[in-house]
Amino acid sequence: DQLSSPNGVAVDQLGTVYVADTDNRRVVRWPRGATSGSIIVGGRGPGSEPDQLDDPTDLSFDLEGNLYVVDPSNHRVQKFAIDKSLC
């Protein structure tokens, strides 16, 4: 699975890289040293359900480690609690 129109990139406190994979409508995570990523949000096609994205474009973390995903086609910013034990 390749990225398609990657846009936003964020790195958490553990050095894990997160990419907003816009055309695949998902967020992909690469733990430090990983050679492949895993889908953590979206990836089920476009949609407006809480676990779906439609053209995510940017990412950011707050001080508690929550991930915020800008999803302009759905007119929203979504907040996700990230399970660090999976990194």
Which of the listed CATH numbers 3.40.50.1390, 3.30.420.40, 2.40.10.500, 3.90.1150.10 matches domain 6-86?
2.40.10.500
| Per-residue pLDDT band at 3 (split at 50, 70, 90) | very high
pTM summary value: 0.90
CA dihedral 23, 49, 67, 25 (to 10 degrees): -10
Question: What would the pLDDT profile of 44-80 be if each residue is shown by its tens digit?
Answer: 889 999 999 999 999 999 999 999 999 999 999 999 9
| Per-residue pLDDT band at 82 (split at 50, 70, 90) | confident
* 3-class DSSP state of 72: helix
**Domain spans, the chain:** 6-86
Give the position of tokens 């695949």: 24
